[in-house]
Amino acid sequence: MRVANTVDLKNKTNELLRHAIAGDPVIITLRGKPAASLTRLTEAELESFVLRHAAGRPAAAPHQGPWRYTSLRTPLGTAYVAYSEQGVGNLELADSDASFERTFRRRFSQPILHDAQPPDDLRRSLTAFFSRREPFRGPVDLTLVGPFERSVLEQLRRIPRGQVRTYREVATALGHPSASRAVGNACAKNPVPLIIPCHRVVRSDGGLGGYSLRGGPRLKRRLLKEEGADLAGLNFLYLAALSSDKRPPVASRYLERTRGQSRAAHSERQHRH
């Protein structure tokens, strides 16, 4: 890491840029105090960088002090849930306490402690969520991700069970129709998969896309099938990729039919109960 003042920035711009591009960050000082920095930015990172700083939302202050966590057995394996006073902030499938703690600290650079007596309301919400497939009713703490990622994740919470959206549709709903890749990156960074259903977002070419929770695309397919999504018809979504501005009618008809079937199935389940 290098330190340069504003005079150096003016007179040695190319030299400082070479250092930054080579991976050696440069801190720029103004009147002896840090004022800015030069760091390497790849083309793959550019879209997320621009959207993150153009999101128009201040970054929320992360939880101060150790996070707490609990675990419970689920049909998917042992689920580990980290939480703060603001709500659930991370959900992972792991083999042991030590494995989860190590992953959490490495990913978020935050301390975490096991809670032998988690709050009763949290335990009830998690039990209902995993055993009875009820929507998670508790609060969620998204301070571990940036403003743009939060806006994406909040949009994903609106996708009903049994339905899917493409990365492009989510990006369009956010007002950034060309930001499909950035939406995909935000899904990959989702700290609370399952609770925020990033598995309901698929590729425009009909592919499922990736999934960050242990089990990957195979688990993503399983979750969508259990929720009643029409996976056999996802290849119709490929038609949406043929136009950058407007989804072709046949793809629109397919998506509306799928969503209508999902609503009908949900109504039937409610009637049975």
Residues serving a catalytic function are 198
- What is the crossing angle of helices 180-188 and 147-156, to 10°? 90
- Which of 99, 129, 136, 131 is CA-nearest to residue 114? 99
User: Which residue reads 């497939």 in tokens?
Assistant: 133
Distance of alpha carbon 185 from alpha carbon 199, whole angstroms:
13
- Which of 220, 189, 193 is CA-nearest to residue 93? 193
DSSP symbols for 96-122: SHHHHHHHHHHHH---EEE-SS--HHH
Tell me phi and psi for residue 62, to 5 degrees.
Answer: -65, 160
- Which of 147, 141, 143, 202 is CA-nearest to residue 169? 202
How far the first Cα of the chain sits from its last, in Å, is: 63
DSSP state of 58: P
Helix (H) or strand (E) holding 87: strand 87-93
Distance of alpha carbon 64 from alpha carbon 59, whole angstroms:
15
Is residue 180 a contact partner of residue 171, using CB atoms and an 8 Å limit?
Answer: yes
Is residue 82 a contact partner of residue 76, using CB atoms and an 8 Å limit?
Answer: no
- What totals of helices (H) and strands (E) does the chain contain, helices first? 10, 9
